[in-house]
Copies of this chain bind each other. A is one copy, B any other.
Amino acid sequence: MPRKQNIYQKRQEKIYDWMAQKGIGLLMIEDAEGRRDSNLRWLTGMPADALFFLSAERKSLLVPWDINLARMYGNADFTCPYNDFDRMPVKACVKAAAMFKIQRNSQIEIPSTTSYPQFLRFIEALADFDIVCRDEEGSGEVLEQLRAEKDENELQQIRRAAKITNDIIDFLEKQLRAGKIKTEYNAVQLIENELRKQDCEGTGFEPLAAGPQRSMAIHSFPAYTNSSFGTKGLSILDFGIKYQGYTSDVTLTIAVEPGKTQEKLISLTEKAYVLALGMVRPGLAAAELSSAVDAFFAKSGKTMPHGLGHGIGLDPHEGPYLRSRENNKWILQPGMVITIEPGLYDPRLGGCRLENDVLVTENGREVLTNSRIIRL
């Protein structure tokens, strides 16, 4: 049972400290359909579908949709069913403010994803308070930064997820070479079957398997089909497995009798990967890393249509983000776990992407997964 573990209390304390520093009376976290927020799980252990309130008095309230699940997973001082508030965030927030005796004119911070129309409802219902909704220098940013640098407990889960992923990759290659994977769905089936044996929660996201006819898309649609896979040309397989909430994220390319121009795509992707990996070290600006790869591709007249990589953890995409944008302020730090995933896509040639998970260490990097370009 993951209940009452000290790790959640420790994480909540960090947020209480931050709240005290900023003078915030009440902080609300929301996870709901259409507005998923893994901060709920990171802070409480509750996997989904709840509100969570932290007060200046260092007490917390969990408001779950499913009270039975909350009894199993939730770590909070108080718990109250969401149905008591007709599952309306504003009503629950009014109750939390009263319950924790939040002083008039205090700051109440609500999620930065709160829609503008919903924001107006908070302001109206909580007119005695200072409603704060911000994405810069807000709680979301703090939580994103805290979560980006993994603690020992998290690294343990991530290493386990990587190990399971690596075993699956090796098995996939073996089965591919034995001619036992003929369709995109076959590849996905193998992944699902293997991860279930290892007590994983599931895949970290819908696996993307695209045979030569469909690999030109960054994220193929549908995610996988009964189309042939691993046949002549370039096939892409992008997947992650989820262990105790933590997901891996890797991409394999399977190349079968590639033509000369396809060889060029592969070679450029591999070189970009080596270039990027060699640069990973603490202190490096993520934008610098990403820009180096963009510049490398540009020399050959190629453009990568997506970012170079991103953090992984409870979310398949989280901070830090390896994008070339000017406003990207992420700096690599020890304990961050990132993907490095250069890729190129061509409507006629298909696509090629190579992606592994990399831990930033005190001195440089440690590659956790063993994805590769497989030539059949």
Cβ contacts under 8 Å, A238 to chain B: none
The smallest C-beta distance from A215 to any residue of chain B, in angstroms, reads: 10
Query: Is A117 located at the chain interface by the 8 A CB criterion?
Result: yes
Query: Is A367 located at the chain interface by the 8 A CB criterion?
Result: no
The smallest C-beta distance from A22 to any residue of chain B, in angstroms, reads: 16
From A60-68, A98-106, A271-279, give the one contacting chain B.
A60-68
The one of B69, B81, B115, B219 in contact with A49, judged by C-beta atoms closer than 8 angstroms, is: B219
* Cα separation A216 to B306 with both chains bound (whole Å): 42
A216 near B325: Cβ-Cβ < 8 Å: no
* Cα separation A224 to B71 with both chains bound (whole Å): 19
From A129-137, A162-170, A255-263, A331-339, give the one contacting chain B.
A129-137
**Residues of A in contact with B, size category:** 35 or more
A202 near B217: Cβ-Cβ < 8 Å: no
The one of B68, B116, B226 in contact with A116, judged by C-beta atoms closer than 8 angstroms, is: B116
Q: Is the interface of A mostly helix, strand, loop or mixed?
A: loop
Query: Is A42 located at the chain interface by the 8 A CB criterion?
Result: no
Cβ contacts under 8 Å, A133 to chain B: 115-117
* Cα separation A246 to B371 with both chains bound (whole Å): 34
A66 near B219: Cβ-Cβ < 8 Å: yes
Residues of chain A in range 210-258 having any CB-CB distance to chain B below 8 Å: 216-219, 221-226
Cβ contacts under 8 Å, A306 to chain B: 65
Query: Is A119 located at the chain interface by the 8 A CB criterion?
Result: yes
Residues of chain A in range 90-138 having any CB-CB distance to chain B below 8 Å: 112-119, 133-136
- In the complex formed, the residue of B with least CB distance to A34 is B36
Query: Is A3 located at the chain interface by the 8 A CB criterion?
Result: no
The smallest C-beta distance from A229 to any residue of chain B, in angstroms, reads: 13
Give me 5 other A-B pairs in contact (C-beta within 8 A), A115-B133, A117-B133, A196-B226 excluded.
Answer: A34-B113, A48-B219, A66-B305, A68-B347, A71-B347
CB pairs A–B below 8 angstroms (14 shown): A65-B305, A66-B218, A66-B219, A73-B221, A83-B303, A114-B115, A115-B115, A115-B135, A117-B134, A117-B135, A192-B192, A202-B222, A202-B223, A202-B224
